[in-house]
């Protein structure tokens, strides 16, 4: 089987590894010169995502590039502790949630994909898909149209594969939040942070603010700020003026203001988008995975992409009936993804209202936390195909 993958980000690189291990020949086409690099900000991987990284052979590399976090401390704007819960895991899980820069996660996955023998071609964007029934072609901006048995659209929320596969699919829309994040000097801030726990607090200025200590003594922070209007994204790195404006907005929130003012490195500005459900992730010999199919957020975007890759490879690798295997993939993944999408929508609404820390203290309405954690964090992406 020859598989063509559009996108070498988290979903695409993970799919390349998993499909190579399933015996497929894999070619990956990435629009950007460097799909890792300084793109995006922090991502967090819960136990279910880490289990996927272990199956892909990348767990140690990702742990080494990030911070393992045991607990989530939810606090009010005045600093009062609202809850202290396991972060991204069940209480008894030995896997600890990992936070790292998105670029470092992509670098680890891409390096493993190349070690597995996947061919990654950068700087050539997918612009179309031609399904010939028994073969599928990836039409590239450079003029080539390589053919394979399967095309995997893993090219993110602005997916060209989705537009080509399903022109009537919904478009991403601004979700009412944007993110600024950075690395701060704790001495300048006058604040110490425990690397074993991430603190999430509501702010009087609106939205929520996260921070966690790092093993090298710095502090990583991320501000998720509600805004009715979609802000203009800066060209290049976030400037001192935007950081100063955020610190000023936190004038009644001393801890966030101090950390923002003590920033030694600002990370790329990101705008949050959401999308109505895509009616068909699969069709013929094309499948959409990761954010191309279902941008979820809520701390589960990367983990869901890793799960997608492993389940897809387990069901499709070596299958004689590719369309049938893709139908089985959709049937397996849809119920889980639909539930996570609902969780993510509620999460965004709470952040815009500034109530996320309170909500983090308990399970979803009508459900015991232990059962919910088992469902979300205990999932094994290799189990459906054993």
Q: What CA–CA distances, in Å, run from 88 to 69, 79, 265, 376?
A: 9, 22, 26, 9
Per-residue pLDDT at 233: 78
pLDDT class of 341 with cuts at 50, 70, 90: confident
Average pLDDT over residues 288-309: 91
User: Is a pLDDT exceeding 80 seen at residue 384?
Assistant: no
Per-residue pLDDT at 135: 96
Total residue length of the chain: 386
User: Is a pLDDT exceeding 70 seen at residue 347?
Assistant: no
Alpha carbon 125 to its chain's center: 21
CATH topology of domain 173-273: D-Amino Acid Oxidase; Chain A, domain 2 (3.30.9)
Short-list 134, 132, 131, CA closest to 161: 131
User: Is a pLDDT exceeding 50 seen at residue 359?
Assistant: no
Alpha carbon 186 to its chain's center: 27
Residue 281: CA count within 13 A, CB half-sphere? 27
Average pLDDT over residues 352-366: 54
Per-residue pLDDT at 320: 86
Q: Say if 2-40+102-172+278-385 and 173-273 have the same CATH topology.
A: no
pLDDT class of 361 with cuts at 50, 70, 90: very low
Q: Are 209 and 201 in contact (CB under 8 A)?
A: yes
Q: Are 124 and 4 in contact (CB under 8 A)?
A: no
CATH topology of domain 2-40+102-172+278-385: FAD/NAD(P)-binding domain (3.50.50)
User: Is a pLDDT exceeding 80 seen at residue 22?
Assistant: yes
Per-residue pLDDT at 32: 86
Phi first, then psi: what are they for 169, rounded to 5°?
-60, 150
* Domain boundaries along the sequence of the chain: 2-40+102-172+278-385, 173-273
Measured at the CA of 145, the angle between CA 144 and CA 150, to 5 degrees, comes to 140
* pLDDT tens track for 111-124: 999 999 999 999 98
Burial 171-199 (b: 16+ CB within 10 A, else e): ebeebbbbbbbbbbbbeebebebebeebb
User: Is a pLDDT exceeding 70 seen at residue 362?
Assistant: no
Per-residue pLDDT at 317: 85
Query: 52 exposed, middle or buried (CB, 10 Å; 0-12, 13-18, 19+)?
Result: buried
Structure tokens at 292: 């191309």
The answer to whether the pTM exceeds 0.85 is yes
Q: Are 124 and 160 in contact (CB under 8 A)?
A: no
Report the range out of 6-20, 193-207, 295-309, 363-377 with the highest average pLDDT: 6-20
Per-residue pLDDT at 383: 77
Indicate the angle between helix axes 254-261 and 240-249, nearest 10 degrees: 170
* More reliable by pLDDT, 161 or 368: 161
Query: 167 exposed, middle or buried (CB, 10 Å; 0-12, 13-18, 19+)?
Result: exposed
Radius of gyration of the chain (CA): 21
* More reliable by pLDDT, 158 or 268: 158
Tell me the longest C-alpha to C-alpha distance in the chain.
64
* More reliable by pLDDT, 279 or 359: 279
User: Is a pLDDT exceeding 60 seen at residue 129?
Assistant: yes
Per-residue pLDDT at 372: 86
């Amino acid at each position: 089987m020859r598989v063509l993958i559009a996108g070498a980000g988290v979903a695409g690189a993970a799919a390349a590894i998993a499909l190579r291990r399933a015996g497929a020949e894999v070619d990956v086409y990435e629009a950007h010169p460097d799909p890792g690099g300084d793109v995006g900000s922090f991502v967090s991987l819960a136990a279910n995502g880490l289990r996927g990284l272990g199956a892909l052979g990348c767990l140690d590399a990702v742990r080494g590039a990030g911070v393992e976090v045991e607990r989530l401390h939810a606090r009010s704007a005045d600093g009062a502790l609202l809850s202290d819960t396991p972060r991204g895991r069940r209480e008894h899980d030995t896997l600890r949630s990992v936070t790292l820069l998105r670029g470092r996660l992509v670098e680890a996955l891409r390096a493993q994909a190349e070690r597995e023998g996947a061919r990654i071609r950068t700087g050539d964007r997918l612009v179309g898909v031609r399904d010939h029934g028994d073969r599928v072609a990836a039409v590239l901006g450079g003029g080539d149209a390589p053919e394979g048995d399967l095309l995997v659209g893993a090219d993110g929320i602005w997916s060209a594969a989705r537009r080509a596969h399903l022109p009537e699919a919904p478009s991403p829309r601004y979700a009412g939040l944007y993110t600024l994040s950075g690395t701060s000097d704790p001495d300048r801030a006058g604040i110490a942070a425990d690397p074993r726990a991430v603190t999430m607090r509501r702010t009087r200025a609106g939205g929520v603010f996260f921070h966690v200590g790092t093993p090298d003594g710095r502090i990583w922070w991320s501000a998720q700020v509600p805004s009715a209007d979609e802000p203009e994204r800066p060209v290049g790195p976030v400037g001192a003026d935007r950081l100063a404006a955020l610190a000023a907005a936190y004038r009644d929130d001393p801890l966030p203001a101090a950390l923002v003012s003590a920033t030694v490195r600002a990370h790329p500005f990101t705008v949050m988008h959401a999308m109505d459900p895509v009616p068909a992730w699969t069709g013929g010999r094309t499948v959409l995975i990761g954010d191309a199919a279902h941008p979820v957020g809520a701390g589960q975007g990367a983990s869901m992409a890793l799960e997608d890759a492993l389940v897809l490879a387990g069901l499709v690798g070596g299958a004689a009936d590719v369309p049938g295997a893709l139908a089985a993939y959709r049937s397996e993944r849809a119920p889980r993804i639909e539930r996570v999408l609902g969780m993510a929508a509620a999460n965004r609404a709470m952040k815009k209202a500034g109530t996320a820390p309170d909500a983090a203290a308990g399970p979803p309405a009508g459900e015991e936390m232990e059962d919910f954690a088992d469902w979300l964090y205990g999932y094994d992406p290799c189990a459906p195909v054993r």
